[in-house]
Amino acid sequence: MYRKLTILFIILMLIIANVVTAEELSLKGSNIPSLKRDFQTDPDKFTFAIIGDKTGGGQENWPIFDKAMEEINLLNPDFAITIGDHIQGYTTDFKELKKMWDEYYSHLSVLKVPVLLVPGNHDISNTDMYIYWKGRNGKTYYSFDYKKCHFLVINTEEDKSPEGAEISVKSALDFIINDIRANKDAKHIFVFMHKPIWVSNKNLWEPIESELKGTNYSVFAGHDHHLIYESRNDHDYIVLSATGAGLDNYPEVPQLGIFHHFTLVSVSGKDANVAVIQPGNIFPANISTREYLQCVYASLAQIKPELTSPSKDGETHGKLIITQTNKIDKPVKTKFNMIDSKGWKVNPQEVILEVSPGETKQLVIEVTCNADALSNPLKYVVERYYDGKLMDKQEGKINLTDSTTSGK
């Protein structure tokens, strides 16, 4: 009897807990100021990131790639997957290949989430590189499941296999077709490849696309270093641009698909929302701390007037001493443009202070003023630059009567 009561009590508590949870997640009938929408209750909701081409030019672009990795960590997806071209490749020297892959992994390894790799033509440029990939990275094509979704990776360089193009490509195609057939009931099928073979190799793609009919799927590729979206049979086909690879010196124009980015895919049920993110605009909460801001403002230039007593001709001579001590880790620059007021003469009219981290600099402006200056303060415009970027622009003034400055 006691055991039955205990079980009933546990069941009752679970029911109450579920009711409370449901009430907490509902805005219907409440007086809470809000935009009334249903809360997300899908337990299989998840996100994953896609990393674009790193090579094919762009050897100097590791900072772009590194910034993307930092931002992926901040977004904290369930996992990440690459789209190919990790190394420069096109060599048969295994020592050189090891060096290239060691360099790539040294940058990729900062990610805190699992990362899956898709081979590209720079990764498998010849049979020796195919063998090296298999030895170091593993399979050249594969599939896996995650939260009721299916992921299929196609190797567009399978013809470099030691078995020969005809045999290896047929074997890969058989795997792909059978894999799709076995997973048609997946909530979503995500297909990844390096080269967009629906454009460049239609004979290979057509049987795959035919098999995908009736499923909920999306297709991602790279290689072109241009972002190109198209809808085929009401499905998303997306060629992703580079994450550090060369852009052939084209100006970065998002509307033309020419810009560095990584991609975040948010999956909920059968829906997959794709966000294309340009590195450089996602920051941690502590990007701007109070302590750092205090150091920035303490690094702003200070103006100290030193004026003599009026001479027999009624003129006052002196100087304005501008001092700046940089207490932060970025260069700071201050530009002063003195505006002649009635009764004032200044030399030079414009001064610029550029101060490196930890450095102190001082400039002197010679001034001469007469009796008219008593009622006309000397005005100036100051521009402050942080790390080469304009931080603010303000007006200030200097009064002869009290030899003080106003304005920040």
The whole-angstrom separation of Cα 131 and Cα 55 is: 20
**Kind and range of the H or E run holding 236:** strand 235-239
Please state the domain count of the chain: 2
- Among residues 43, 72, 53, 25, the alpha carbon closest in space to that of 123 is found at 53
The confidence score (pLDDT) of residue 402 equals: 56
**Kind and range of the H or E run holding 174:** helix 165-181
Let me know: does 51 contact 243? Beta carbons within 8 Å: yes
pLDDT, tens digit, 9 for 90 and up, residues 102-153: 999 999 999 999 999 999 999 999 999 999 999 999 999 999 999 999 999 9
The confidence score (pLDDT) of residue 54 equals: 98
Let me know: does 338 contact 352? Beta carbons within 8 Å: no
- Among residues 107, 197, 102, 202, the alpha carbon closest in space to that of 158 is found at 197
The confidence score (pLDDT) of residue 30 equals: 75
- Tell me: pLDDT of 384 over 80: yes
Query: Residue 285, exposed/middle/buried by CB under 10 A (0-12, 13-18, 19+)?
Result: exposed
- With cut-offs at 50, 70 and 90, classify the pLDDT of residue 369: confident
Residue 58 within a domain: yes
Residue 28 within a domain: no
- Among residues 99, 26, 86, the alpha carbon closest in space to that of 51 is found at 86
CA dihedral 191, 193, 196, 200 (to 10 degrees): -120
Are 249 and 310 in a shared domain?
A: no
Are 154 and 231 in a shared domain?
A: yes
pLDDT, tens digit, 9 for 90 and up, residues 156-202: 999 999 999 999 999 999 999 999 999 999 999 999 999 999 999 99
Are 212 and 351 in a shared domain?
A: no
The residue among 285, 319, 350 that closes a domain is 285
The confidence score (pLDDT) of residue 35 equals: 82
Are 260 and 315 in a shared domain?
A: no
The confidence score (pLDDT) of residue 37 equals: 80
CA 330 to chain centre: 21
Count of positions (residues) in the chain = 408
The helix-helix angle for 94-108 and 127-136 (nearest 10°) equals 50
Q: Which two tokens stand for residue 136?
A: 């170091």
CA 91 to chain centre: 31
Are 250 and 102 in a shared domain?
A: yes
Lowest mean pLDDT among 17-21, 339-343, 375-379: 17-21
Are 105 and 254 in a shared domain?
A: yes
Residue 265 within a domain: yes
The residue among 228, 251, 285 that closes a domain is 285
pLDDT, tens digit, 9 for 90 and up, residues 57-69: 999 999 999 999 9
- Residue 215 per-residue DSSP state: S
Supply the pTM of this predicted model.
0.78
Are 149 and 228 in a shared domain?
A: yes
Q: Distance from first CA to last CA of the chain, Å, rounded?
A: 80
- Tell me: pLDDT of 11 over 80: no
- Tell me: pLDDT of 27 over 80: no
- Tell me: pLDDT of 19 over 80: no
The residue among 285, 301, 319 that closes a domain is 285
- Enclosing domain of residue 121: 46-285
- Amino acid letter, 154: I
